[in-house]
Structure 1
Amino acid sequence: MAGASSLVGKLETEVEIKASAGKFHHMFVERPHHVSNATPGNIQGCDLHEGDWGKVGSIVIWKYVHGKSTLYT
């Protein structure tokens, strides 16, 4: 990443999914790195910065598209 940015706020979007609520929740909790496979136009990927996947307190950095810009949070 070229420079660190501090984005603070709330980001919301609506995405239609063809899965049960349980499967969707499992993907976000246990396999957040798979979210980009489900929404490639919105979320480009994520990296585990600290902790373990699916564990409370872990820090995940998300790469997503807002308009025409790719952002990191």
Structure 2
Amino acid sequence: MAGASSLVGKLETEVEIKASAEKFHHMIAGRPHHVSKATPGKIQGCELHEGDWGKVGSIVIWNYVHGKST
């Protein structure tokens, strides 16, 4: 049986948001787990793997839909 594989890379997209830059930065930097509430069809959630929420160098694992959204 083959070992588990993982995908590593960069994903970029453009999304129109209805919030100020300050509010968006506050959510992404300090409360990334709220992103799934704001975009339920695209972002399924995230987990803190290492470090602290909102701290530089922390590792966050994102679960998202790529391609067709629900």
TM-score bracket, normalised by the shorter chain, equals 0.7 to 0.9
Aligned to 1:29: 29
CA distance in 2, matches of 1:15, 1:9: 19
The unaligned stretches of length 5 or more in structure 2 are none
Paired-residue identity, %: 88
Q: Secondary structure at the match of 1:66?
A: coil
Structure 1 residue 54, shift from structure 2 partner: 0.4
CA distance in 1, matches of 2:36, 2:5: 21
Kindly report the root-mean-square deviation, in angstroms, between the aligned alpha carbons of the 2 structures: 1.9
| Structure 1 or 2: more strand by fraction | 1
CA distance in 2, matches of 1:17, 1:4: 36
Aligned to 1:12: 12
Structure whose alpha-carbon radius of gyration is higher: 2
After superposition, where does 1:53-64 map in structure 2 within 5 Å? 53-64=53-64
Equivalent pairs counted in the alignment come to: 67
Structure 1 residue 17, shift from structure 2 partner: 1.2
TM-score by length of 2: 0.82
TM-score by length of 1: 0.79
The unaligned stretches of length 5 or more in structure 1 are 69-73
